[in-house]
Amino acid sequence: MSFATILGVIFGFGLFVGAIVLSTDNVFIFLNLPSFIMVLGGTLAAAFISFEPRYVVHALRVMSSILFTHEVTRAILTHEVGRVIRWGYVIQKSGLPGLETDAGRATKTDRFLGYGIELVITGYTGQEVRDILANTVETTFMRNTVYSDILRNMGSTAPAFGMIGTLVGLIIMLDNMGKDPASLGPGMAVALVTTLYGVLSARLIFLPAANKVQQREEIVRFRNYLLAEGLALLAERKSPRYIQDKMNSYLDPGLHFSIDSMMRARGGRAPSFSPGTGTATGPASSPSGGSSGS
């Protein structure tokens, strides 16, 4: 679970609820089902009109996924460098057949990596691998950021439906004002609740979710570009040390992978990885977190 996201949601709505409790004894005035239906229903209706239904449904699923920890952490970036360096040693020793065998399990769980390894094994040049994978990275990024665009659109639409609900409430209130002037104040309060719902849903749900989905896709794009460069260097048969220095140039200095440190820790042997996982074993440390080292 992404505890920071969950705490942010709880803290944001908690401040709002706490302010209401401290300000009035009539907290139930802020609960209005018709207002909720107008805002949520109108926002969803506009989204389904604006975008293909399957994209809207998937965008809502992606929005719920921000409550879980992102799979690409800062530590993963260091491990990606170490994994490609490992494959550099494998190619030096056993050639491309050795790479195909060594990377077999990792490619089954990572489609992008599997596609890149296939290009290297096929015999494309380094620049050809780099160009093909760069196109793959960008088109994948464009497809996946459609969902953040949908959520951002919903965030901009929700306040508008809040205002529409308020206008509906005001019209009803003014129509009844001649019958009972005493209902003017409570009626106005209920009408304004709809605007409140619209602003809250936009600023605490849709827009923050859109921003986090966008950021996570940018992190994945960065990781994929890092891997693409490493795979291109493998296709060019560059030395493991050159691969290390070139891939480290993409990362924050605190995330750099060091062949020397790893080999010292392993008594002069080349970097080793846990079987089938691609995860480096040894003391190569890197801070974990939810953002790239770019």
Q: Are 60 and 200 within one domain?
A: yes
Q: Which run of H or of E encompasses 146?
A: helix 146-177
- Average pLDDT of span 240-244: 96
Q: Are 37 and 3 within one domain?
A: no
- pLDDT confidence of residue 293: 42
> Is 84 contained in some domain?
yes
- Average pLDDT of span 136-150: 96
Angle, vertex CA 187, rays to CA 186 and CA 188, nearest 5 = 90
Q: How confident is the model at residue 179 (pLDDT cuts 50, 70, 90)?
A: confident
Q: Say if CB 186 and CB 169 are below 8 A apart.
A: no
Q: Are 104 and 133 within one domain?
A: yes
Best CA proximity match to 139, nearest among 23, 196, 199, 217: 217
Q: Is the pLDDT of residue 286 over 60?
A: no
Q: Are 98 and 13 within one domain?
A: no
> Is 156 contained in some domain?
yes
More confident residue, 159 or 180: 159
Q: Are 5 and 82 within one domain?
A: no
> Is 104 contained in some domain?
yes
The chain-wide mean pLDDT, for the chain, equals 87
Q: Are 156 and 26 within one domain?
A: no
- The structural domain count of the chain equals 2
Structure tokens given for 206: 């849709």
Q: Measuring CA to CA, how many Å separate 54 from each of 49, 61, 129, 189? A: 12, 11, 33, 37
Q: Which run of H or of E encompasses 142?
A: helix 126-144
Give the number of other CB atoms < 10 A from CB of residue 221.
20
Q: How confident is the model at residue 41 (pLDDT cuts 50, 70, 90)?
A: very high
- pLDDT confidence of residue 273: 46
Q: Say if CB 215 and CB 69 are below 8 A apart.
A: no
Q: Are 219 and 143 within one domain?
A: yes
Q: Are 79 and 150 within one domain?
A: yes
Q: Measuring CA to CA, how many Å separate 262 from each of 176, 236, 240, 259, 270? A: 79, 24, 13, 5, 8
Digit-coded pLDDT (tens) for 84-119: 999 999 999 999 999 999 998 888 889 999 999 999
> Is 63 contained in some domain?
yes
Q: Are 25 and 51 within one domain?
A: no
Q: How confident is the model at residue 26 (pLDDT cuts 50, 70, 90)?
A: confident
> Is 289 contained in some domain?
no
Best CA proximity match to 257, nearest among 102, 84, 99: 84
Q: Which range of residues forms the domain containing residue 14? A: 1-31
> Is 105 contained in some domain?
yes
Q: Are 251 and 147 within one domain?
A: yes
- pLDDT confidence of residue 108: 87
Digit-coded pLDDT (tens) for 192-233: 999 999 999 999 999 999 999 999 999 999 999 999 999 999
Dist. CA 44–CA 50, nearest whole Å: 10
> Is 124 contained in some domain?
yes
- pLDDT confidence of residue 183: 66
Winning range, highest mean pLDDT, from 41-45, 109-113, 180-184, 270-274: 41-45
SS3 54: helix
Q: Are 65 and 152 within one domain?
A: yes
Lowest mean pLDDT among 62-66, 131-135, 148-152: 62-66
More confident residue, 187 or 84: 84
> Is 16 contained in some domain?
yes
Q: Are 127 and 232 within one domain?
A: yes
Q: How confident is the model at residue 81 (pLDDT cuts 50, 70, 90)?
A: very high
Dist. CA 290–CA 3, nearest whole Å: 12
Question: What does pTM read for this prediction?
Answer: 0.83
Amino acid making up residue 29 = I
Q: How confident is the model at residue 269 (pLDDT cuts 50, 70, 90)?
A: low
